[in-house]
Structure 1
Amino acid sequence: MSTFSESLWNNNLDIYNFITNTDFIQQLSDGCLPEEKFRYYIQQDALYLADFGKALALLAVKATDQSHMLQFLQFAQGAVIVEKALHENYFRLYNITGGPEKMPGCFAYTHFLVSTTAIQPLEVGVAAVLPCFWIYREVGKYILKHAATPNPYQQWIDTYAGDEFDTLVTQMLEITNTLAAQTTDSLRAQMQEVFRFSCRMEWTFWNDAYVLNAWKPV
């Protein structure tokens, strides 16, 4: 019998396949992604992680299981640490200065995550943040398998395809399955719905970086 998280993945495999076939992922894997597109991605990712950490902290506040509470807090801390590392490493490497603005995809995704984790039941909030963990792991493994070597983006690839991140994703999947098993059919349906929306936003995030999507001057 499949787990709830397996049903989530299988029901959204179409979006994952779209993501791995985006020009951004294909060119990142080949090592030929234009630097300006990676710079855009890194700037937006730093902004995203700041709010992602807040969303995870909100889940910790709602958690009734102490072990889950601690894990959410550790996840939140990890997001903040990675954001800081992006600023210290990639921002310096690519000479990124000033405070970048959230572009449309990042703005929509972060507002969805923070509002969902703040307003909706814990189970729904967990399902909303899960794609960021899970899709990044799978995309990281996909790129690692297909990446050209040497690759100018190898450090980024190693971060998301490594054992440490893999462990975090496994922990998040265990929490998701535990909560899904204890909740109602209605909430499980909501979990499916927000999971798919976040998967769509993951695709949007990658695609925005490739097309350098920006606010229109209106």
Structure 2
Amino acid sequence: MSRWSDRAWEAAAPTFRRILEHPFVHELTAGTLPAEKFRFYIRQDALYLDGYARRLAHIAARLPRKEQTETFLHFALEGIEVERALHAQFLDGGHPSPEEISPACLLYTSVLDAQATAPVEVEAAAVLPCFVVYQRVGEEILHRTRLEGHPYAAWISTYADPGFAEAAGRAAAVCDELAEAAGDEIRRHMTDLFVRCTKMEWLFWDSAWNLEKWNI
């Protein structure tokens, strides 16, 4: 029997193909992405990670097994710090203020926050795309380009690193354990949120590509 994470990825595959086809990812791969757009993305990602870390800690407190809790606490503390260190290399003017949040970033974090009262299986499934999408995008970019002299080599190296793939695998494994013990309805909700949050990843890059602003 296939794992839940495999079936969820299959359901999200059309969206992932759209992500790889997005001009932001194309130009990031080529090293031709305008610095202004990359800075916009990094500042929004820093704001996103603030909420994402809280979500990971919240999930950790709800997980049924000690090993699962330890895994998600590690993600919330040490794992997030790796990405924050990456942001620090590119951030201008320090950490962005919450008032800078873009509509797409606010939408994504709000979708995640809304799962706080959902079953823990669903909340865990909602945070998984941030692991597996970045892992696969990082690996795909590394396959297509050379890091030497690349302006975004540090970003690519972070997400194409085997250590990040290992973390993504651990997160997926916890979700698979939760799905295996859950009923069909919960598993359907897990898949729905996984696909929805994969779409949020596309919106996030599209927002950076367009330097999205509030129109009011």
Task: Tell me the TM-score range normalised by the shorter chain.
Answer: over 0.9
The one of 99, 114, 124 equivalent to 2:96 is 99
Task: Give 4+ residue runs of structure 1 displaced > 6 Å after superposition.
Answer: none
The separation in 2 between residues aligned to 1:61 and 1:124, in whole angstroms, is: 14
* RMSD, matched Cα: 1.4
Which residue of 2 is the match for residue 11 of structure 1?
11
Which residue of 1 is the match for residue 213 of structure 2?
214
Classify 1:17/1:98 alpha carbon distance in 2 versus 1 (closer, same or farther; 3 Å): closer
Deviation at 1:11, TM superposition (A): 1.1
Which residue of 1 is the match for residue 57 of structure 2?
57
Deviation at 1:79, TM superposition (A): 4.8
TM-score computed with the length of structure 1 as normaliser: 0.93
Give aligned-pair identity as a percent.
37
Cα pair 2:86 2:155 within 8 Å, conserved: no
Deviation at 1:180, TM superposition (A): 0.5
1:32 matches 2:32: yes
- Counterparts of 1:1-218 in structure 2, within 5 Å, are 1-82=1-82, 84-91=84-91, 95-97=92-94, 99-100=96-97, 101-116=100-115, 118-148=116-146, 149-216=148-215, 218=216
The one-letter code of the counterpart of 1:74 is H
TM-score computed with the length of structure 2 as normaliser: 0.94
Classify 1:84/1:173 alpha carbon distance in 2 versus 1 (closer, same or farther; 3 Å): closer
Q: After superposition, what is the alpha-carbon deviation per residue over 1:138-162, rounded to whole angstroms, capped at 9, x for unaligned?
A: 0000100112453100010000000
The one-letter code of the counterpart of 2:129 is P
Cα pair 1:53 1:79 within 8 Å, conserved: no
The separation in 2 between residues aligned to 1:107 and 1:138, in whole angstroms, is: 24
Moved more, 199-208 or 81-90: 81-90
Equivalent residue of 2:32, what SS?
coil
Moved more, 133-142 or 107-116: 107-116
The one-letter code of the counterpart of 2:214 is W
Classify 1:158/1:98 alpha carbon distance in 2 versus 1 (closer, same or farther; 3 Å): closer
The one-letter code of the counterpart of 1:127 is A
Deviation at 1:78, TM superposition (A): 3.1
The one-letter code of the counterpart of 2:59 is L
Moved more, 74-83 or 107-116: 74-83
Equivalent residue of 1:194, what SS?
helix
Unmatched segments (≥5 aa) in structure 1: none
Unmatched segments (≥5 aa) in structure 2: none
Deviation at 1:99, TM superposition (A): 2.9
Between the two proteins, the alignment pairs up a number of residues equal to 213
